[in-house]
Structure 1
Amino acid sequence: SMRAKMPPCNFVPEKYRSYPYEHMLKIREQNIAPSLRMYYKKPLLLHQGHMQWLFDYEGRRYLDLFAGIVTVSVGHCHPKVTMAAQKQLACLWHTTNIYMHPSIHEYAEKLTSFLPDPLKVVYLTNSGSEANDLAMFMARLYTRNFDVICFRGAYHGGSPYALGLTSIGSYKHGVANGIGCSTVRFLFLI
């Protein structure tokens, strides 16, 4: 078989210094919930990322085509993002929303400047699950309709509301959830 040649990369990853691969597998089997499953016969043990690259425990380099399952849109450890995070962590890690903080207000103003007039308000959340919970809640509150259509095989989170939208059996755990959520394969609007 013919393999495509990887483009060059000037980044040199740090040496892997944690548990051996077999011990990591044992921890995964014994201490991590099975719903957080892996999809490969020999799962990757990644320990470092740089931009579009991922590096495993043996120093092998991979081109990340999934972008952290669509959550890392600027690459891994992007220098600008890393610098901004370090700057903020050196200033203030966390404060409650009952206080004001310049960074949140500056971000909200910049973000809402891209939105049309009726949508100049943001509600910042700390996760995709929480954002999806809020979206369902707001849609139900605004429309006074309860039912939600979701796609088969979709993942939208593991919180009680979002779990109803998530249509992957290993996340369901045999507990009633998703009241008002109907799963469809395709949706056609006419």
Structure 2
Amino acid sequence: MTSLPPSSSHQALLGHHRSVMPDWLALYYRDPLELTHGEGRHVWDAEGNRYLDFFGGILTTMTAHALPEVTKAVTEQAGRIIHTSTLYLNRPMVELAERIAALSGIPDARVFFTTSGTEANDAALLLATTFRRSNQILAMRNSYHGRSFSTVGITGNAAWSPTGLSPLQTLYLHGGIRTRGPFAQLSDAQFVEACVADLEDMLGQTQHRSVAALIAEPVQGVGGFTAPPDGLFAAFREVLQQHGILWISDEVQTGWGRTGEHFWGWQAHGRNGPPDMLTFAKGIGNGMSIGGVVARAEVMNCLDANSISTFGGSPVTMAAGLANLAYLLEHDLQRNARRVGGLLIERLRAVAAGLPVVREVRGRGLMIGIELIDADGSPSPHAATLALEYARENGLLIGKGGREGNALRIAPPLSLSIAEAEEGAEMLGAALQRVQSETEGELLP
């Protein structure tokens, strides 16, 4: 195969991609984008088109594209030393660990860094199963926790589970989706009560003394930004504590203030204290590969064999994380997510009003989902695909997810301005109106 010159055409790049990458490595859009640079909340493609970015590389560009504080920290650290591994003392790693431990809410916390959310959840499962001497895991229906062999085994979304084989015995609970399923018509209090009864019934069907942990996303990310009523996991926690079962909060997408109301997603369910472990990734690195686990010392220190990380805690990524976290806190981006996110969801509900293709606009902070349906009320992945395409044509990048692939995912950088929120809502509203017109046309005789 010939090498690909830097000046090669878009179509040539796509051809090379398809010839060398796996078939299952998905690309957005009929005509996939090559993004070449970004600034603030905008990115540009190889043809020079500018887009307002409402997805941030899957919730990863948390503060802003090309944030000067982060690029400066990366450049300066790379000029000193790029790599050492965890076999040596690493000042940026220790400093970032101290900040995250203090922010986590977990007492006597220890932090282990990885390179991704998948690896973070994998490490949390290793710790939980070792600590409890069990391979039984409780997980939520419609959940997503990563693409490794173990995390696929606890993912409750069939679209992201390419194998039924797993080293774990996973038991799936109700509660991740508030507006669908057998408990959808109940009040919030009744919903929580029913889900707790489901948990207790599940534990009654198994050797619950050997269940290792519950792992759950406070807001299901890939699942379409669905969430239970506040307090569900606090109620679960009461049952879990009776049996010594650990609670792992998967904060890969909900952490760092994205939901606006709280810094961590678990805090909406924190009546009975923090989780035993939380996992994080994505936004903390603002594009650099950082993941990690925070756990109370008793759990973190349970391993009795050697375990290191070659790339977790890299000096360069840690420098980026420190600069990014400092910017986030100093500029109170959690408050901005609450304020601008509240306005954005109001605007999106307004533009969706009167469009039968939109079943629901949901979310909190800058983590918003729009669920699309057919005329008969069934999920419409086709409508979601059209909305993605039309939003791009209007200059807006969004994501897609949900159990049936029919939910739009909106998660801009947390520095989004009010003017940009208004602009994005207008672009998406126009795209949804076009989807409505086209899908109505398909139903005509």
TM-score bucket (shorter structure): 0.7 to 0.9
1:35 counterpart SS class: coil
The 5 Å alignment of 1:160-179 reads 160-166=149-155, 167=157, 169=159, 172=162, 174=163, 176-177=165-166, 179=168
Deviation per CA, 1:167-189: give whole Å up to 9, x if none. Answer: 354662x5734642356675463
Deviation at 1:33, TM superposition (A): 1.1
Deviation at 1:19, TM superposition (A): 2.1
Deviation at 1:80, TM superposition (A): 0.8
Name the count of aligned residue pairs: 172
- Larger mean CA deviation between 156-165 and 72-81 belongs to 156-165
Deviation at 1:25, TM superposition (A): 1.3
Deviation at 1:53, TM superposition (A): 0.8
Normalised to the residue count of structure 2, the TM-score between the two structures is: 0.35
Give the Cα–Cα distance (whole angstroms) in 2 for the partners of residues 18 and 168 of structure 1: 40
Return the structure number with greater relative CO, CA threshold 8 A, min gap 6: 2
Look up the match of 1:124: 113
Deviation per CA, 1:74-125: give whole Å up to 9, x if none. Answer: 1222111111111111111011212102111222222223244624211111
Normalised to the residue count of structure 1, the TM-score between the two structures is: 0.77
Deviation per CA, 1:23-54: give whole Å up to 9, x if none. Answer: 11101211111221113211112111222111
Given residue 65 of structure 1, which amino acid in structure 2 is its aligned partner?
Answer: F
Structure 1: runs of 5+ lacking an equivalent: 1-16
Instruction: Mark the CA change 1:183 to 1:142 in structure 2 (over 3 Å): closer, same or farther.
Output: same
Greater helix share, 1 or 2? 2
Give the Cα–Cα distance (whole angstroms) in 2 for the partners of residues 126 and 22 of structure 1: 32
Look up the match of 2:139: 149
| Aligned counterpart in structure 2 of residue 86 of structure 1, from 75, 83, 107 | 75
Whether the 8 Å CA contact 1:165–1:178 is kept in 2: the answer is no
Q: Does 1:96 align with 2:85?
A: yes
- Larger mean CA deviation between 112-121 and 98-107 belongs to 112-121
Give the Cα–Cα distance (whole angstroms) in 2 for the partners of residues 183 and 41 of structure 1: 35
Give the Cα–Cα distance (whole angstroms) in 1 for the partners of residues 140 and 125 of structure 2: 11
Whether the 8 Å CA contact 2:137–2:171 is kept in 1: the answer is yes
Deviation at 1:141, TM superposition (A): 3.2
Whether the 8 Å CA contact 2:138–2:173 is kept in 1: the answer is no
Q: CA RMSD in A?
A: 2.5
Q: Does 1:70 align with 2:70?
A: no
Give the Cα–Cα distance (whole angstroms) in 2 for the partners of residues 62 and 32 of structure 1: 26
Deviation per CA, 1:145-171: give whole Å up to 9, x if none. Answer: 51231443x543222212223435466
Give the Cα–Cα distance (whole angstroms) in 1 for the partners of residues 87 and 33 of structure 2: 42
Given residue 69 of structure 1, which amino acid in structure 2 is its aligned partner?
Answer: I
Look up the match of 1:136: 125
Look up the match of 1:33: 22
Given residue 52 of structure 1, which amino acid in structure 2 is its aligned partner?
Answer: R
Give the Cα–Cα distance (whole angstroms) in 1 for the partners of residues 174 and 31 of structure 2: 30
Structure 2: runs of 5+ lacking an equivalent: 1-5, 177-191, 197-445
Whether the 8 Å CA contact 2:140–2:175 is kept in 1: the answer is no
| Aligned counterpart in structure 2 of residue 52 of structure 1, from 31, 41, 45 | 41
Given residue 57 of structure 1, which amino acid in structure 2 is its aligned partner?
Answer: A
Q: Does 1:111 align with 2:100?
A: yes
Given residue 130 of structure 2, which amino acid in structure 1 is its aligned partner?
Answer: L
Instruction: Mark the CA change 1:186 to 1:34 in structure 2 (over 3 Å): closer, same or farther.
Output: farther
Instruction: Mark the CA change 1:37 to 1:115 in structure 2 (over 3 Å): closer, same or farther.
Output: closer
Given residue 121 of structure 2, which amino acid in structure 1 is its aligned partner?
Answer: N
